[in-house]
Chain A
Amino acid sequence: MNVTIVDYQSGNISSVINSFTEVAKGKVNLEVTSDVNKIKSSDKIILPGQGSFKSCVGSLNSINGLVDALKDFAITNKKPLLGICVGLQMFSDIGYEESETKGLGWIAGKVSKIDNQNGKFKLPHIGWNEIDIQKESKIFKDIENKSHMYFVHSYEFIPKDKSVISATTDYSSKIVCAVEKDNLFGTQFHPEKSDKTGLKIIDNFLKL
């Protein structure tokens, strides 16, 4: 199996590479690239994302043919894709970080700043928080409800269709922290930094 971590020069993806390499050891062939042809021939894709929504979308768009290749992969061919953090947020139609920016439009919804209730909640939301599993998701196989995951973000994805939500976490409100829609998976938290439970989620994705 060929798995690609999309390297589109946006933020730090070393930890994503390290964790997937650890789990993939001897099982799958892992590539880190933005090469459109390699993406086309992949079986699975991981779309990481750090920094702002705007800068991540900008970086994706700056690589010729990348957005189309990802769309063919995930939407037309319905092959498994996992978005992490801003990688998940970009599934949306629109984001409001820095300025209004169009997303990939794969799952209807928007990305807005977490309501900190007039400073009652510190932002970024940094640290370990429990996930409340909302529906069965293939990547949550053998993951207990209320497991701890590592978060670091100030913006949240608000999907229109709530049935895509696979988990939420409690921070000022119920924040969407995982989605599953057909072959599309996304986590707002960082499985690559979430210790053994996080590695299990990665393993579940690789085993799909």
Chain B
Amino acid sequence: MLKNRIIPCLDVKNGRVVKGINFVELKDAGDPVEQAKIYSDGGADEICFLDITASNENRDTIIDIVRKTAKECFVPLTVGGGVRTIQNITDLLLAGADKVSINTAAVKNINFVKEASKKFGSQCIVVAIDAKKVSENKWEVFTHGGRNKTGIDAVEFAKQVETNGAGEILLTSMDRDGTKSGYDVELLKVITDSTNIPVIASGGVGTLDHFYDGIVKGGASAVLAASIFHYGEFKIKEAKEYLNSKNVSVRL
């Protein structure tokens, strides 16, 4: 049976791994290539790099880091941040990324998702949706690392990205990101129920139970986390053993 994936995410700025509290106040937590290798050796099911400032400061993603990482890590590598053009995707894939994650550009122009999935295949197109709760049972899409409000309903947008060929959705709760208070399970549930593509849960992991909630209660196919892993609170293996002990199937 298909296993639930655990994906450590490396938020990268200026070639270094950082992780913010609600996307501000960045701390430095190391060299991305080295970190990725540690995760891959430690049983990570995939590795995710997010160039968190690229979209805001109009910078291209860190091709060189991707190239070095891809030569040492033989698990899937997803790269996001500032992916705006077909050329951006080509460059990342040639550097060794297996998937790219599109955020702001998908919101600006849904046809970009369509064009990208047609050209490269749905298997490598992930759409990252940053959502914030605006009222009871209503979430809105935000862009630019959570700075810009779009007025777009997150559920409607998730359905739209599926129709346009996205292979996966990386769903981040902006309310929970960096808070360690757990994924927004309600948001996850409503998105996983209204789409038929895998959803990766992101934003808010503080305990191993949060992974369980994301998968079992939220219906996520994969769970993503950053700080819980790279400040050494938990090892990926511990997270997997914990989930396994609670009858959640993982790759051990």
Contact = CB atoms under 8 A, between A and B. Distances in A.
Interface in B113-127: 119-124
B1 A18 contact: no
Contacts of B3: 127-129, 148
Interface in B1-59: 1-5, 40, 45
A14 interface: yes
Contacts of A196: 74
B206 interface: no
A123 B196 contact: yes
A173 to B, nearest CB: 12
Interface stretch (B94-102, B136-144, B153-161, B170-178): B94-102
Contacts of B167: 124, 126, 152
Given A123-B196, A195-B74, A18 B121 contact: no
B2 A129 contact: yes
Given A14-B93, A124-B167, A127-B3, A199 B74 contact: yes
Nearest to B43: A195
Interface in A80-133: 116, 119, 122-130
Contacts, number: 99
A22 B1 contact: no
A194 interface: yes
The number of chain A residues touching the other chain, given as a range, is: 35 or more
Contact of B94 (A14, A116, A119, A198): A14
A171 B2 contact: yes
B196 A119 contact: yes
A127 B45 contact: yes
A50 B120 contact: yes
B70 interface: yes
Contacts of B146: none
Contact of B197 (A18, A122, A193, A199): A122
Contact of A193 (B1, B71, B76): B76
B120 A11 contact: yes
Contact of B74 (A50, A127, A194): A194
A158 to B, nearest CB: 20
Interface in A176-197: 192-196
B227 interface: no
A12 interface: yes
Contacts of A148: 3, 251
B194 to A, nearest CB: 11
A139 B96 CA distance: 25
25 contacts: A11-B120, A11-B121, A12-B94, A14-B93, A14-B94, A15-B70, A15-B98, A19-B74, A22-B74, A50-B120, A50-B121, A50-B123, A51-B120, A124-B197, A126-B168, A126-B198, A127-B4, A127-B198, A151-B2, A154-B122, A171-B2, A192-B74, A193-B74, A194-B74, A198-B74
Given A11-B124, A128-B251, A195-B40, 5 more contacts: A15-B96, A51-B121, A127-B198, A152-B167, A193-B75
Nearest 3 interchain pairs by C-beta: A51-B121, A12-B93, A152-B123
